[in-house]
Structure 1
Amino acid sequence: MDGFVATYINRLDAKGRVSVPAAFRAVLSREGQEGLYCYPALDLPAIDAGGARLQQAIGEQLADFETFSEDYETLSTAFYADSRVLKIDQDGRIMLPEEFREVTGITDAALFAGQGLKFQIWEEARFRERQKAAREHLRSLKLSLGRKSKRGPAAGETGA
């Protein structure tokens, strides 16, 4: 697997540093990323983080919008103006900025949740709430998957 997978919880030290999971650092290294690209998640109390592939995906997403349009300006502010590239020290730690700790509610431990292309940094209790809501949503999606057919409408359906 060449992405960010699994969930890890690491404690912040007295200086506000936290270890980035070794598996995540390995992915960043393969991408040729020296620091950790981070920004507040658009709609969650979390930090989105990743490397070169995440930055490339953001650039591709923004390319869909007209340069200088309101949507482009809004998204580019969220992805770039609010972002930080955090240096990973020789011990694999980052300094989690105060503004990121405020967004997430992190005080003593950070939860790192893999999401393939990127990962998120959460306060554990908030992540567990999000995880529960996501699983409930997945259950409803799973139920609806059985109702769709790739072969066309089922008997008695018009397909309209």
Structure 2
Amino acid sequence: MARRFRGSEEVKVDAKGRVSIPARFRRVFEACDPDWTSDRRAQLVIVYGTRDWQHLRLFTIEAIEEIDAQIDRMQRGSPERTLLESIMHGHSEEAEIDGDGRLVLPQKLREKIGLEDRAFFIASGDYIKVWTPAAYEDEERRLEDLIPDFEPGADPLSLLPPPPSLADEG
């Protein structure tokens, strides 16, 4: 299993659209790029999605290859495959982390999400979401509405599906 991103961080965006990728995130991009070596730049894919997306998604190479394989298994010409191909292939760009640990976010992508001088990174497993700090605050409020009513002291891990039984494995 590929390494996962954990945590969040707010970073500066310079006038050229460069953002410093926190070291703990860079290590995941490096570990999940099969071609990466210490003398090469880590590769990633930026997915900017549909018109209504207010964030960017930075995928590791391993994650994007897994998604590509899943899309390849879908029925050609199906509306679902067409949608996913459009988002994951047509609304994306390949990128790399430079020798100083920075990523250049293209102007059109910064404009799409309204990114100016600060960016908010939040881990989402095998990718990172990039938001403006204000848009992420709005997203946090929306996420709070998704939280089910728990009994006091209930563990949110109870939302996970039960582990497969031995009968399911045979």
Bin of the TM-score, shorter chain as denominator length: 0.7 to 0.9
Aligned residue-pair number: 145
Moved over 4 A (4+): none
Partner of 1:16: 17
Partner of 1:84: 93
Deviation at 1:70, TM superposition (A): 2.9
TM-score under structure 1 length normalisation: 0.79
Partner of 1:154: none
- Please tell me whether residue 52 in structure 1 is matched to residue 61 in structure 2: yes
Percent identity between the aligned chains?
Answer: 25
Tell me how far apart the structure 2 counterparts of residues 83 and 93 of structure 1 sit (CA, whole Å). Answer: 19
CA-to-aligned-CA distance 1:3-37 (integer Å, 9 cap, x gap): 11111111111222111121111001111252221
Instruction: State the one-letter code of the partner of 2:32.
Output: E
Structure 1: gaps (5+ residues): 151-160
Contact 2:11 2:120 in 1 (8 A): yes
Contact 2:43 2:61 in 1 (8 A): no
Tell me how far apart the structure 2 counterparts of residues 141 and 102 of structure 1 sit (CA, whole Å). Answer: 37
Which has the larger displacement, 83-92 or 51-60?
Answer: 51-60
Tell me how far apart the structure 1 counterparts of residues 112 and 59 of structure 2 sit (CA, whole Å). Answer: 18
SS of structure 2 residue aligned to 1:15: coil
Distance 1:109 1:56, change over 3 A: same
Partner of 2:111: 102
SS of structure 2 residue aligned to 1:44: coil
- Please tell me whether residue 35 in structure 1 is matched to residue 35 in structure 2: no
Partner of 2:76: 67
Instruction: State the one-letter code of the partner of 2:135.
Output: R
Instruction: State the one-letter code of the partner of 1:15.
Output: K
Q: Give the alignment's Cα RMSD to 1 decimal.
A: 2.3
SS of structure 2 residue aligned to 1:36: strand
Larger Rg: 1
SS of structure 2 residue aligned to 1:107: coil
Partner of 2:121: 112
Deviation at 1:61, TM superposition (A): 3.5
Distance 1:133 1:16, change over 3 A: same
Instruction: State the one-letter code of the partner of 1:29.
Output: E
Structure 2: gaps (5+ residues): 37-41, 163-170
TM-score under structure 2 length normalisation: 0.75
Partner of 1:26: 27
Deviation at 1:111, TM superposition (A): 0.8
